[in-house]
């Protein structure tokens, strides 16, 4: 069986990105592999990141962490979106570290029985108003936390991709204060971590004991406008998305294309039908994106459908039915990038790669 579309995942690029980020940070690196490694494939990416020098793995869900353990991965893993009522016993049995952000969860985790104590990282809200302890922080009896082993304290930046933004310094100072609270309660050798990719790329004093890098691991810029392209940051984009031209045909000028006839051909031209659609993660809203084929860019024409979209190849194109086209890639040959698809969709590269659907096989290159 041949694929009609595939996401080629360059695992050597993962390793190169880990090396670059580790050198920047100068501390341990936690590779963020949540959401199926941002759509790249959980287990192969996790293994490549560890091979490349990452010492920790980070995920959102407990299920993701358990999947890593079931794949035989023994490196430390932190899961940070584990709500009350979760199977904390399994987490403890599998030696998965859990982020705790409320008294309710802390008390629940503390009831786990057995020889091993649950390992937790206290998540603190330093100004993002998302995860982490805020008001309840002062209600934790820090001197007498029982039934759990506190191994870390962490927070998350809201605006690390805007270097110089005052909120970053405010968050950093708040973090230091909360760390000091814990230290004065006798917790000294905690792993302190707050930096995501953007902070790692720009803000060395925030590295503490470990950085948690996601997007940059995949070779993508945390923010195109404020931080520049992936390439300018020295990152190697990991995913190349390719698809087959299901059909190529010549149409006359004035032909309406696709649902709603939102576009009409402006001249006699050759159209290509790309065998991917919004069910595969191609944003229906995308404007000014397309594919690379026959040495040039062919823009989307008409609406993206569920399983297919049409590109304008141009009348002189030599492209034929069955040819492969590149939807996005590193950009070295002139193909569109995930950065560009993000901008073209009023979104970000994160969303582009993460939403490539399960119908698209991932092909791993070493």
Ligand X SMILES: *Cc1c(COP(=O)(O)O)cnc(C)c1O
Catalytic hit among 15, 34, 47, 244? 34
Question: Nearer to ligand X by C-beta: 17 or 343?
Answer: 17
CB of 224 to ligand X, least distance (A): 13
Question: Nearer to ligand X by C-beta: 32 or 82?
Answer: 32
CB of 137 to ligand X, least distance (A): 17
Is 34 annotated in the active site? yes
Catalytic hit among 177, 259, 266, 287? 259
Which candidate, 353, 268, 272, 357, places its Cα nearest to that of 308?
272
Question: Nearer to ligand X by C-beta: 214 or 342?
Answer: 214
CB of 29 to ligand X, least distance (A): 11
* DSSP-derived pairing of the beta strands 210-213 and 290-293: unpaired
For the four alpha carbons of 208, 210, 213 and 218, in that order, the dihedral sign comes to: positive
Residues that bind ligand X (CB under 6 A): 32, 34, 80, 156, 196-198, 212-215, 222
Question: Degrees (nearest 5) of the Cα angle 327, 162, 180?
Answer: 125
Measured between alpha carbons, how far is 197 from 14 in angstroms, rounded to an integer? Answer: 14
Which candidate, 360, 257, 267, places its Cα nearest to that of 310?
257
Q: Where would I find the H helices in the chain?
A: 11-25, 34-38, 42-51, 62-70, 88-93, 103-109, 166-184, 197-202, 224-227, 338-344, 349-354
Question: Nearer to ligand X by C-beta: 7 or 21?
Answer: 21
CB of 220 to ligand X, least distance (A): 9
Q: Which residue has the tokens 């009023």?
A: 346
User: Residue 299: phi, psi to the nearest 5?
Assistant: -75, 155
Measured between alpha carbons, how far is 14 from 278 in angstroms, rounded to an integer? Answer: 27
Bridge partners, residue 366, by sequence:
none
Q: Which residue has the tokens 């082993």?
A: 149
**Total Cβ atoms within 10 A of residue 359:** 14
Is 278 annotated in the active site? no
CB of 222 to ligand X, least distance (A): 5
Number of residue whose CB is nearest ligand X: 214
Question: Nearer to ligand X by C-beta: 65 or 291?
Answer: 65
Question: Nearer to ligand X by C-beta: 52 or 214?
Answer: 214
CB of 152 to ligand X, least distance (A): 12
Bridge partners, residue 213, by sequence:
31
Active site members? 34, 259
């Amino acid at each position: 069986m041949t694929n009609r579309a595939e996401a080629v995942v360059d695992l050597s690029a993962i390793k190169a990105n880990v090396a670059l980020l580790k050198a920047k940070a100068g501390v341990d690196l936690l590779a963020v592999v949540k959401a199926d490694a941002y759509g790249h494939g959980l287990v192969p990416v996790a293994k490549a990141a560890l091979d490349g020098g990452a010492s920790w793995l980070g995920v959102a869900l407990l299920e993701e962490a358990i999947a890593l353990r079931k794949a035989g991965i023994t490196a430390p893993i932190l899961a940070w979106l584990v709500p009350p009522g979760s199977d904390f016993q399994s987490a403890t049995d599998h030696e998965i570290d859990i982020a705790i952000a409320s008294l309710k969860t802390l008390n629940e985790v503390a009831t786990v029985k057995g020889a091993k104590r649950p390992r937790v990282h206290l998540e603190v809200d330093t100004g993002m108003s998302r995860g982490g302890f805020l008001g309840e922080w002062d209600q934790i009896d820090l001197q007498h936390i029982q039934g759990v082993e506190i191994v870390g304290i962490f927070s998350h930046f809201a605006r690390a991709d805007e270097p110089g933004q005052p909120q970053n310094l405010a968050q950093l100072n708040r973090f230091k204060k909360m760390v000091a609270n814990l230290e004065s309660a006798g917790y000294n050798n905690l792993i302190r971590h707050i930096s995501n990719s953007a902070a790692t790329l720009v803000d060395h004093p925030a590295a503490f004991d470990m950085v948690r890098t996601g997007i940059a691991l995949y070779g993508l810029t945390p923010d195109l406008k404020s931080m520049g392209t992936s390439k300018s940051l020295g990152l190697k984009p990991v995913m190349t998305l390719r698809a087959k031209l299901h059909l190529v045909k010549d149409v006359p000028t004035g032909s309406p294309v696709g649902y709603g006839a939102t576009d009409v051909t402006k001249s006699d031209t050759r159209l290509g039908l790309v065998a991917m659609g919004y069910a595969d993660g191609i944003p229906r809203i995308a404007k000014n994106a397309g594919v690379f084929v026959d040495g040039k860019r062919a823009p989307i024409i008409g609406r993206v459908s569920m399983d297919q979209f049409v590109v304008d190849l141009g009348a002189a194109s030599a492209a034929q039915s069955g040819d492969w086209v590149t939807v996005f890639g590193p950009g070295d040959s002139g193909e569109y990038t995930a950065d560009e698809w993000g901008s073209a969709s009023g979104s970000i590269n994160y969303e582009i790669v993460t939403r490539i659907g399960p119908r698209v096989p991932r092909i791993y290159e070493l």
